[in-house]
Amino acid sequence: MRRLVVSLIAAVVAVSLVPIASAQEEEDEITLRVGLTQDWEVLNPTSGYTVAAYEVWNLHYATLTDKAADDFATVPGLAESWEEVEPGIEYVYTLREGLTWSDGEPLTAEDVAWNINTGRDQGWDNMVSTVGNIEATVIDERTVQLVSSVPDPKLPTMDVYLVPQHIWEPVATDYDTATQYAADDGVGSGPFVITEFTPGQSVVMAANPNYWGWEGEEPPYDQVIFRLFENPDAMVAALQQGELDAAQGFPASSWDALEADADIEVVAGQQGGFDEIAINGGAAEGQPHPALLDLEVRRAISHAIDRPAVIEDLWFGLASPLETISPSADPKWIPEIPEENQFTYDPERANQILDEAGYMDTDGDGIREMPDGTNPIVIRHAVNTDGDLAGSIGDLMVGWMGEIGIGVELEAYDQDALFGVIVDGTYDTFYWGWVPFVDPDPMLSYFTEAEIGNYNDANWFDPEYDALYTEQNQEVDPDRRLEIVHEMLTMFHAAAVYIPMYIAPDLQAYRTDTFEGWVKQPADIGPVMFSNSSPSYAQLTPIGADAGGSDINWLLWGGIAAVVVILAGVFVARRSKSTSDERE
């Protein structure tokens, strides 16, 4: 064993010290290097769903209107201005003069209209809830009219990603071809465009000289490289050694060490992101254990989950309590749940609920059975192997449920496979998370009947909830709409199919000696990256000529991390889960 260890370390060090120059050294490019722990899976903006993918889209695809960095207010984007013809119904947008795609082709009102009308007609997943009732008409090259068939409280905001018509129209002939397109053409209209995508490794983005936001000036730096880490501790080490300029989603356990580094700034950004344990509501083809179709059982499970302990022990107190879901980056949309209706941690109460509902352990094996004495209650808990806390939560689920006489079988899936399991309904519970948009409508839409088999990962719906969803979707009075949303979320909470664990901060860190100009969104409390519109990248400027560092130490730290992982595998039977569990 000792010889094996020494050989492994020697081999890794030898390989790591091979002098491979960085792109910056070879071509004198200035590169921003960002580490993250969540894979992109796909980069198609019509159907992707991970936070990692949204960050790339925020840089690659501009939108008709944008969001203010400080308060999410609707501000000009590709459109320099707009006129309200009829509130919530008709708006006319005027594009900036001289807009072009990164390949030099003109970006016109025709691109805007084609995106909106095609996304509506083909039902693009990430666009249809915004444009489903809208007809876009080209007035002239720089002017486009949007008319909604019903009142739309989101207008004049129009922040869907616009793809180049001249590239997409030949390949996006229907829903399947559009959503399955690799989107590897590299043509965009944002500040940076994709030049290289290696799944499981990295995304390289070059500065787009045609981006309107540069205002005719040269981009302040040349490229952004997003690097994926399977081991978050290796990411932290790379940041500390100067091999990264910034890191997204570092472990809470690293907070103190990073905060103590004079050249690193740490951020616990708040933008409404939350984690949850979902219980299969039974609306999909696949069915949960029949006990989970009983509201009383779901209520008991909710009372058995020790959320305060998770906040303290796994988040080191950095997360915030949450009783019902957060549908927006703006906390005003979260309703107050009366104390008597809250699912506080109370295993004694959970056991009482199950006893009174007739779920007893008739054979004394520690597992309750159905009221007729058959079918022991053993649930399948799906563990997201791409989630940094999912393994720990899975282990805790075994203990929490054991306290109330419910067995747990852990089943491991990567995030892509887990999405398929959720769609099929072949699970009982799982742990994952969301980062919502600014407007609550998309998050609210996920729990409607129309989203069964897609984003409705609770596999639950209620006709009354669906009716309220439609009502808020068309309510232009902001105060009345707020009341409807609160009513919807209170109803969803009472169904006990979604157990919000906490408001999860975006733990981020960046070096203060390589780039400056980081912007929090929203102001003061938000993250500096991986936010709703990611404004930092276009405002950063490099400090000195060597921002980003060399790849030599990168390989060294990567190699050492690999040895650590190998040795851990020798001595430990379980594999640690190690990437971000957030998705959009």
Q: In 341-473, which ranges are continuous DSSP H helix?
A: 347-356, 390-402, 415-424, 441-445, 463-473
- C-alpha neighbours within 13 Å on the C-beta side of residue 139: 11
In the listed set 482, 503, 524, which residue is the last one of a domain according to the structure? 503
CATH value at residue 46: 3.40.190.10
Encode burial over 17-33: b for 16+ CB neighbours within 10 A, e otherwise: eeeeebebeeeeebbbb
**Token digits of residue 245:** 């300029």
Rounded CA-CA distance 343/297 in Å is 13
Contacts of 364 (CB under 8 A, 6+ apart): none
Which residue from 443, 394, 385 is spatially nearest to 417, judged by alpha carbons? 385
| Residue 582 within a domain | no
- Mean pLDDT of the region 167-189: 96
- Report how far apart, in Å, the C-alpha atoms of 398 and of each of 76, 405, 406, 410 are: 50, 10, 8, 8
What pLDDT score does 209 carry?
Answer: 96
pLDDT bucket at 80, cuts 50 / 70 / 90: very high
Mean pLDDT is lowest, of 24-33, 37-46, 444-453, for 24-33
Regarding whether 494 and 355 lie in a shared domain, the answer is yes
Among 136, 158, 178, identify where a domain stops: 178
| Type and span of the H or E element at 409 | strand 407-413
Give the Cα separation of 146 and 406 in Å (integer). 53
Q: Give the mean model confidence (pLDDT) for residues 336-361.
A: 98
pLDDT band at 27 (very low <50, low <70, confident <90, very high): low
Same domain, 282 and 301: yes
pLDDT tens per residue, range 259-270: 999 999 999 999
Contact between residue 202 and residue 181 where contact means Cβ atoms under 8 Å apart: no
- pLDDT of residue 9 exceeding 80, the answer is no
What is the CATH number for 394? 3.10.105.10
Q: Which two tokens stand for residue 24?
A: 């910056």
Residues 314 and 230 grouped into a single domain: no
If asked whether residues 356 and 482 sit together in one domain, one would say: yes
From 315-324, 539-548, 564-573, the region with the lowest mean pLDDT:
564-573
One domain, residues 288 and 301: yes
Q: What is the CATH number of the domain that holds 82?
A: 3.90.76.10
Please tell me whether residues 298 and 353 are part of one structural domain.
yes
On whether both 160 and 297 belong to a single domain, the answer is no
| 211 and 356 belong to one structural domain | no
Neighbours of 338 (CB within 10 A): 9
Give me the chain's average pLDDT, please.
89
Residue 142 clears pLDDT 70, i.e. is over it: yes
Q: Given this model, what pLDDT does residue 544 score?
A: 72
573 falls within a domain: no
User: Could you tell me which residues are beta bridge partners of residue 95?
Assistant: 79
**Per-residue DSSP letter, 206:** E
One-letter amino acid at 192 equals: F
Residue 156 preceded by cis peptide, ω within 30 = yes
Q: Determine the structural domain holding residue 112 and report its residue range.
A: 65-178
Distance CA 145, CA 517 (A): 36
pLDDT of residue 570: 34
Both structure tokens of 219: 């981009």
Burial class (CB in 10 A: 0-12, 13-18, 19+), 559: buried
Same domain, 282 and 422: yes
Query: For the chain, what is the domain count?
Result: 3
Furthest-apart CA pair in the chain: how many Å?
78
Do the beta carbons of residue 159 and residue 63 sit within 8 Å?
Answer: yes
Q: Which of 383, 388, 385, 386 is nearest to 249 (CA)?
A: 388
Specify if 580 maps to a domain.
no
Q: For helices 2-16 and 551-571, what crossing angle results, to 10°?
A: 160
DSSP letters, 536-548, are TTTT-EESSS-TT
Same domain, 344 and 478: yes
Q: What is the pLDDT of residues 385-419, one digit of tens each?
A: 988 899 999 999 999 999 999 999 999 999 889 99
- Which segment of 193-197, 448-452, 542-546 scores lowest on mean pLDDT? 542-546
DSSP states along 284-328: SSS---GGGGSHHHHHHHHHH--HHHHHHHTSTT-SB--SS---S
Q: CA-CA distance, 100 to 106, in Å (whole number)?
A: 4
Residue with tokens 């979604």: 498
Residue 386 pLDDT: 87
Q: Would residue 491 count as lying in a domain?
A: yes
- Looking at residue 552, what is its pLDDT? 39
**Band of the pLDDT at 564, cuts 50, 70, 90?**
very low
Q: Residue 430, CB half-sphere, CA atoms under 13 Å: how many? A: 30
Residue 463 shares a structural domain with residue 339: yes
Q: Is the model's pLDDT at 534 over the cut of 70?
A: yes
Nearest in space to 159 (alpha carbons), one of 132, 190, 134, 127: 127
In this structure, is residue 400 part of a structural domain?
yes
Residues facing residue 159 across a β-bridge: none
Section 429-450 average pLDDT: 95
The reply to whether 548 falls in a domain is yes
Is 575 within the bounds of a domain?
no
Q: What is the pLDDT of residue 388?
A: 83
Average pLDDT over residues 199-208: 96
Give the strand pairing for 31-36 and 223-228. Answer: parallel
Given a cut of 90, is residue 23 above it in pLDDT? no
- Please check whether residue 447 lies inside any domain of the structure: yes
Dihedral (C-alpha) 80, 84, 89, 93: value to the nearest 10 degrees? Answer: -20
DSSP state of 343: -
For 463, phi then psi, to 5°, come to -55, -35
What are the Cα distances from residue 422, in Å, to 41, 180, 357, 415, 455?
A: 17, 19, 28, 10, 9
- pLDDT 10s digits, 479-507: 999 999 999 999 999 999 999 999 999 99
- pLDDT per residue as tens digits for the range 89-135: 999 999 999 999 999 999 999 999 999 999 999 999 999 989 999 99
Look-up of token digits 């690799």:
182
Picking from 155, 178, 201, the residue at the C-terminal end of a domain is 178
| 433 contact partners, CB below 8 Å, separation of at least 6 | 273, 274, 275, 276, 387, 504, 581, 582, 583
> Among 334, 351, 450, 429, which Cα is nearest to 384's?
429
CA distance 139 to 143: 5
| pLDDT tens digits, one per residue of 311-326 | 999 999 999 999 999 9
Residues 338 and 459 in one domain: yes
- What is the rounded CA–CA span in Å between residue 141 and residue 215? 21
The region of weakest confidence among 37-46, 99-108, 254-263, 538-547 is: 538-547
Least confident among 196-200, 327-331, 553-557: 553-557
